[in-house]
Amino acid sequence: MNHLRRYFFACLLCMPTAAIAQEKALKVTTPMSPPAWALLQREVLSASAEACREFYRRYFDDRGYLLCVERWGGNDGPDDAIENCNDWPILHALGASDEIRTLYEKAWEGHLRQYTLAKTTHVPFAKDGMYYKEFPVQFDWLHHAEGLTVFQMQGLSHPQQTQFETRARRFAGFYLNEDLGAQNYDAKHKIIRSMFNGSRGPLLRKATALDWAGDPIEVKDRFLPGHGERSYEEMLAHFKDYNDIMGDHPQNLQATSLALTAYMSTGEAKYKDWILDYVGAWRQRILDNDGIIPTNVGLDGKLGSAASGKWYGGVYGWGFSVVVPQTGAIVHRNTHHLGLAGFGNAYLLTGDDKWLDPWRKMIDKINAQGKKEGYPHMFGDKGWYDFKPDKYKHGAEEIWYWSMKTEDQQRLPQDGWLAFLQGKNPTYPEQTFRNELEVIRKKVAEMRADPTTPDTRLADDSMRFNPANAANLVRLMLGGIHHGNRTLVLHSRVRYFDPDKRRPGLPQDVAALVEKLSNDETVLTLVNVSPVHARRVLIQAGAYGEHQFTTATSGSTKLAVNGQHLEVLLEPGTGSQIKLGTKRYSQQPTLAWPR
């Protein structure tokens, strides 16, 4: 299998000529005064880890329990508890201190125990525990994904953890019908049978406000719910229309990330087969529905049959507009775009554009409905509505990133990171890392001023102080994309390992900047900021080795790589731009480390 072929390169040779050599190693000897971006990048990694350490001491106890009032619900449930550690595994995988791995793993294990023991008094399906078999009993994938981000990213940071593969198999098994108590999937109709699903199977009835809001709770003068409710009655009112959950919804495509993790951990084909089968069914639904992804597929496999025959119906559907109880305002809550994750997973496995084309055509089709007042983002009984000045662009960045096609790039604003990759915004990395340090400073200051106590704190209250923010690090260090609190799979052009400490991430003193991405080339600069110590770094083609390097060019040295890894020796105080010929999505992804 692919992951068994990985290995650490043993030799380090200097290549003095421009002729293509066969050794898969580069030796960098050209002095480079540390650029400001390199010093700032190293400081962001260091400061993030130190701030996370203080955050953990403030909000977690020695068992790894979050110090809060334990509740079930869409406002402040178990998913929010572990969200407090979002991006910690990515920081470690980038090269932050091993201590950050120790802390987030302790929090992960602690929250599993905490919310298995926590029980509801009124919500029926969580009365015997909010978690069962270390997984949420029944809820929607908007919230499942938030609560699983730390586990999924642990595969980049520490896949060898004792229980990781066991859990990956179990979690995926809930959707492959391998658990007799969790028959979430209908293989005949290729649907996940309800928006509420989990370790106790699908909820096959209409949901109630209680199911979403959780048990009665004192609110006034004690809590400040994240959606602004002033009483428990307003919490119920928030969810009063969240009823039509039976049948499939694009959100459920995020479950394919569990199967992908199991596949990358084990190499077993059944997981890949299930992903392509399920995503394939959704692809066909887009084609059958005149190019628009439906938001309800009934238990009979027909579009809209569990939502009064409306393909755009159901909770979080194209036509899901509800009233904010405390203001009376109408808000539009359409989460079909979360389904893009499944198409991205299929593309990661195959590199086949057929998984992207329906979505890119949907973007163009929706924007073609634009009028003088803007572009639509919702669809209901009277057709398209919720017109906004900005074009509909859900998925536009991902489609461009995966395809690397010029026409897909044109749907995006040509500024920020994209402008930097085009060579038009050279100060972007330095300014970005300076901004990151300022964000960390502000969050630490706000955390220290936080007046809440464990009995006046909901699970999501402390999330706003989480000092870990890996989005810009992923872009600039890995040439990747990272999207908020539902990052279940990391898409990146490169990844790094420290061959001396045998751990993921850049070695001490090394900084990396991806400067250009194209269909067949990746350009990055590596710098050793230490004037004293030489450092070795192993570059991997893709977050999961899904790409392949064909060649590597540094100055006048050019190597034939034709593999997934390149080792680089950086002498003290040196640096180099390295151009990596890249054959994208040519390998099967794996969580195994090189050895």
3-state DSSP assignment of residue 291: coil
Instruction: Determine the pLDDT at residue 260.
Output: 98
Q: Tell me what pLDDT residue 2 has.
A: 43
Using CA atoms, how far apart are residues 455 and 100, in angstroms rounded to an integer?
Answer: 26
Token representation of residue 127: 């009365």
The alpha carbon of 228 is separated from its chain's Cα centroid by a whole number of angstroms, namely 27
Q: Can you give the pLDDT at residue 595?
A: 75
pLDDT of residue 303: 98
Looking up tokens 């329990």 gives: 65
* CB-based contacts of 289, cutoff 8 Å, min separation 6: 303, 311
Which run of H or E residues covers position 566?
strand 565-570
C-alpha span between 385 and 387 (Å, rounded): 6
pLDDT tens sequence across 118-162: 999 999 999 999 999 999 999 999 999 999 999 999 999 999 999
b/e map 252-272, b = 16+ CB within 10 Å: bbbbbbbbbbbbbbbbeeebb
pLDDT (0 to 100) of residue 540: 98
Give the pair of three-digit tokens for residue 40: 């700032």
From CA 27, how far away is CA 567, in angstroms rounded? 9
3-state secondary structure of 89: helix
3-state secondary structure of 49: helix
Q: Which two tokens stand for residue 119?
A: 């029980």
Name which of 513, 523, 504, 431 is nearest 475 in CA terms. 513
CA distance linking residue 193 with residue 204, whole number of Å: 8
The residue to which tokens 């151009």 are assigned: 579
Residue type, 184: N
Instruction: Tell me the three-class secondary structure of 202-262, residue by residue.
Output: CCCCCCCHHHHHCCCCCCCCCCCCCCCCCCHHHHHHHCCCCCCCECECHHHHHHHHHHHHH
- Cβ neighbours of residue 323 under 8 Å, at least 6 residues apart? 241, 329, 330, 331
Task: Write the single-letter amino acid at 212.
Answer: W
- Helix (H) or strand (E) holding 571, with range, is none
Q: The whole model's pTM is what?
A: 0.95
Determine the topology of domain 2-30+493-583 in CATH.
Immunoglobulin-like (2.60.40)
C-alpha span between 274 and 175 (Å, rounded): 9
Q: Where are the alpha helices (DSSP H) in 223-377?
A: 232-238, 256-266, 269-288, 340-350, 357-367
Cα–Cα separations (whole angstroms), residue 492 to 41, 361, 398: 18, 24, 11
CA dihedral angle for residue 353, residue 151, residue 96, residue 400, rounded to 10 degrees: 20
Judged on CB neighbours under 10 Å (0-12, 13-18, 19+), 549 is buried
Element (H, E) at 383: strand 383-385
Q: Which amino acid is at 226?
A: G
**pLDDT for the residue 226:** 81
Amino acid letter for position 21: A
Angle (CA) 50 159 552, round 5°: 85
- Among residues 216, 193, 212, which one has the least CA distance to residue 203? 193
User: What is the spatial distance between Cα 1 and Cα 588, in angstroms, rounded to a whole number?
Assistant: 9
Q: Are the C-beta atoms of 295 and 334 separated by less than 8 Å?
A: yes
Alpha-helical (H) ranges within 380-427 are 396-403, 406-409, 416-421
Q: Output the pLDDT for position 228.
A: 85
pLDDT at residue 4, as a whole number: 38
- Please state, in angstroms and rounded to a whole number, the distance separating the CA atoms of residues 537 and 362: 42
User: Which residue, chain included where needed, has tokens 């048990």?
Assistant: 215
The pLDDT assigned to 307 comes to 97
Q: Please identify every stretch of the chain with a pLDDT value under 50, giving residue numbers as ranges.
A: 1-23
Q: Where are the domains of the chain?
A: 2-30+493-583, 39-161+213-227+429-489
- 3-state secondary structure (DSSP) of residue 131: strand
User: What pLDDT score was predicted for residue 19?
Assistant: 37
| Separation CA 546–CA 354 (nearest Å) | 18
Could you write out the DSSP letters of every residue in 474-526?
A: IIIIIS-B--GGG--S-B-SEEEEETTTTEESPPTTEEEEEEEE-SSEEEEEE
Tokens in use for 437? 């340090």
